[in-house]
Structure 1
């Protein structure tokens, strides 16, 4: 049998990131995916492993990147699985120490394993996200990856990365996002995120949430017999990247005293600060210096406020106009108000990107620009002392990069 191409096979699977049809979660179950994995041993640990699940509404991408880099500095073979991607889906799976995206050769190796031990018919029920999660499980074990960091895609209880059965869960900031799927309150959303905890989970790290959420978190850890470690939440005016890096340092320092005892075979090795950790791609990323264009994937009300608050510390003295593109399931009106208040205070411009992919917040039509107008906005920004903050869907990144 000719081995199918990994990406080509995946392109024929249901991709919720493109369809945005989250109604399917009403009847969704992880059981078929679990059965497939277990029937082939595709999530089995070949040796002692440390598997980490990173969940939350905001900040989990940067925390996942910083965690994997820190464990790599410690001397462990480390793998990172994240979502979504900026340009190429191969970006979702990265291997240390360089953490460059996997290659086509890597994915051919995965395909050879999957289609030799199974067949296209057996695999065709998978979703696109499950397909890539499966690839991470298989490749990490094939390459003998000791520390595996999995960033959850959506929620936790029903997320494909839950089946990694994490030893450690890292909880980032909780906000209101994807409410139609996860719940209408932060309390409900928190419980969905905590659903990623497995029977193997021993430790839970969390950014200290508001009192009502903290009580839920403490009760949950008591019930599940988990060791809970809290780190202060983000203070106003501080860059969230700086804060998330400090959060990861706290996690690493705490774990170093537990690794040998709790995870035999994963003794302390190197220095987690042996080399500087690179900034996660697509987070407060400078995509152009002239004009100054900064991209951030903030796409819910809490994330918008945090990103705007981070600008002054990350780019002191710089004013920003804002270009936003939000997908239809986002709370556009609330976000639009925050962006309008910021640009009015700074006396800068506010634009909303208007294309068939994006839904304009109510009342924002007067600010909207069409795709063909984008280059003029970039030129105008370059003629001023201010910068341009581009935020919202990760798909906005490709629009900005295409204008380089």
Structure 2
């Protein structure tokens, strides 16, 4: 019998990122996925590993990227699992030292493991996200990856990456997003994110949150006997990428101290390099120099605010117009208000992409443009110095093609 293609098989599974039907989480349980994975030993550690879970509302993609590259530079074989992707789902699974997306041969290797040890029938109940998470589990173990970084998807308690059984939890900024699933307050959302902790988890790193969240965090760590390390939250006027890079340096320095004391017995098998940490793709990324176009995936009110505040330090002297596109389940009106305030201050233009995929914020019809006029908007006029594109990862393919 031929081995099914990894991507083709995955395309037939339920993909919540496309359907946006997050109501299914009302009855969701990790137990079926856990039982399947454990029945085949697909998350079993063949030797000691350092598995790091990265959770939060904003910044976890860049923090995951910086963590993976940092450990690779220190000489550890490192794997990185992230979501969502910008262009190609293969971007979600990456291996050191270059962290290029997995290739077709890698996917064939994953499929051979899964369909030789398991069956299509028992794998077919998985969701698309579970399928890719499982792919990362088996490839990282097959390739003897010492440091494994898993960016959580929607939450924590019910996130498929919880089955990595993280040794370390890294918490990024907590904001209000997916409230129907995670809770209506930041306090509720933090508790949901903390649910990714398992019995293996020993250390928590966190950006110091506001007092009400800090109280929850400290009480949780005390109850679970977890060591807590705090790092200052993002200061006003600083690029969030610069701050996240420094946050990761803080984390890696502490973990190196722990590893050197043989409290974590992972092997350093690669060459140590001293190259600076490259920026992650799709985060304050310069898409074009002429016209000057910057992309960022900010897609909730807090993230929008942080991205706008980062522009002056990341791109000094630039005046930005804004092009945004919001998915239907997002708080479009709240985000649109922030963008309107910004562009009024900048005396620049504001545009919202209006299509079947992207929902126009209520009351902002006069700022809408149809997709067929997108290329014209991106060709900025002589008076406009730059355009910031944000609101969804999906917009990346619109402006790169």
| TM-score band, normalised by shorter chain | over 0.9
Equivalent positions of 1:88-237 (< 5 A) are: 88-237=88-237
Which residue in 2 is equivalent to 1:254?
Answer: 254
Which residue in 1 is equivalent to 2:15?
Answer: 15
User: CA 1:268–1:140 in structure 2 vs 1: closer, same or farther (change >3 Å)?
Assistant: closer
Which residue in 2 is equivalent to 1:396?
Answer: 395
2:175 partner SS: coil
Which residue in 1 is equivalent to 2:361?
Answer: 361
Matched, 1:294 2:314: no
State the TM-score, normalized to the length of structure 2. Answer: 0.98
1:230 partner SS: strand
User: CA 1:348–1:12 in structure 2 vs 1: closer, same or farther (change >3 Å)?
Assistant: same
Which residue in 1 is equivalent to 2:386?
Answer: 387
Shift of 1:261: 3.5
1:234-286 deviation digits (Å, cap 9, x = unpaired): 01110000000000000011111111436442267899871111110000000
Query: Contact 2:85/2:393 (CA < 8 Å) preserved in 1?
Result: yes
CA separation in 2, counterparts of 1:314 and 1:208?
23
Aligned alpha-carbon RMSD (Å): 1.3
Query: Contact 1:283/1:296 (CA < 8 Å) preserved in 2?
Result: yes
Aligned length: 401
CA separation in 1, counterparts of 2:131 and 2:175?
27
Query: Contact 2:202/2:227 (CA < 8 Å) preserved in 1?
Result: yes
Query: Contact 2:68/2:79 (CA < 8 Å) preserved in 1?
Result: yes
State the TM-score, normalized to the length of structure 1. Answer: 0.97
2:166 partner SS: coil
Which residue in 2 is equivalent to 1:309?
Answer: 309
CA separation in 1, counterparts of 2:272 and 2:196?
27
1:258 partner SS: helix
2:261 partner SS: helix
Which residue in 1 is equivalent to 2:75?
Answer: 75
Shift of 1:329: 1.2
Greater Cα offset, 149-158 or 253-262 = 253-262
Which residue in 2 is equivalent to 1:58?
Answer: 58
Shift of 1:30: 0.2
1:76-107 deviation digits (Å, cap 9, x = unpaired): 00000000000000000000010000001100
Query: Contact 1:152/1:161 (CA < 8 Å) preserved in 2?
Result: yes
Greater Cα offset, 269-278 or 251-260 = 269-278
CA separation in 1, counterparts of 2:9 and 2:87?
19
